[in-house]
């Protein structure tokens, strides 16, 4: 015996069968327990889903849907992969640039004060190279990541 197709059972539940097609499906259902069980399952699922399928929130609901979703995401904060992408302890590159610039100023100021007091005479040029390198490295970091752009000199109009 051939069983009814899912489409035939669905059309029977929806009331879309008429005439000879309806009579054939009804005769088959009277003789086939498996198809009656499939019909009963489909009817039960249809009844369970009916409240969700018949509720129409209206166009106003969908006009503000995207804004409501964005608000809920912002309220929940970052999560998942976004939360793991937070910067390291130094923070953003701009913060690192400020720290490097400040370190350069502190090292340079300390070196100038120590030089004035005569503390570097015994260490010679070696220590000056180290301190100068640290200061220049901090300044380079500051320029690189501070977001400030070097402006070219104004054009004189002559070539």
> Which pTM was predicted?
0.36
C-alpha distances out from residue 70 to 59, 64, 79, Å? 19, 10, 14
pLDDT band at 102 (very low <50, low <70, confident <90, very high): confident
Integer Cα distance of 159 and 145 in angstroms: 34
Q: How does pLDDT run across 65-75, given as a tens digit for each residue?
A: 999 988 888 87
Q: Say which residue, 15 or 117, is predicted with more confidence.
A: 15
Specify whether the CB–CB gap between 88 and 136 falls below 8 A: no
What the block records as the tokens of 147 is 């977001």
Average pLDDT estimate for 53-68: 85
C-alpha distances out from residue 135 to 16, 70, 142, Å? 84, 45, 11
Q: Say which residue, 107 or 42, is predicted with more confidence.
A: 42
Integer Cα distance of 68 and 63 in angstroms: 10
Q: How does pLDDT run across 103-151, given as a tens digit for each residue?
A: 777 877 777 777 677 665 655 565 656 666 666 666 666 666 665 555 5
């Amino acid at each position: 015996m051939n069983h009814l197709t899912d489409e035939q059972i669905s059309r029977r539940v929806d009331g879309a069968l008429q005439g000879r097609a309806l009579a054939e499906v009804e005769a088959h259902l009277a003789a086939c327990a498996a198809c009656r069980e499939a019909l009963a399952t489909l009817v039960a699922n249809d009844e369970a889903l009916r409240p969700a399928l018949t509720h129409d929130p209206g166009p106003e609901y969908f006009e503000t849907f995207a804004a409501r979703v964005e608000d809920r995401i912002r309220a929940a904060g970052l999560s998942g992969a976004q939360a793991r992408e937070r910067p390291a302890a130094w923070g953003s590159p701009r913060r690192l640039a400020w720290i490097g610039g400040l370190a350069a100023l502190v090292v340079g100021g300390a070196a100038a004060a120590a030089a004035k007091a005569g503390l570097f005479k015994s260490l010679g040029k070696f220590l000056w190279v180290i301190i100068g390198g640290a200061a220049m490295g901090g300044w380079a970091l500051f320029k690189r990541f501070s977001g400030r752009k070097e402006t070219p000199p104004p054009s004189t109009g002559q070539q």
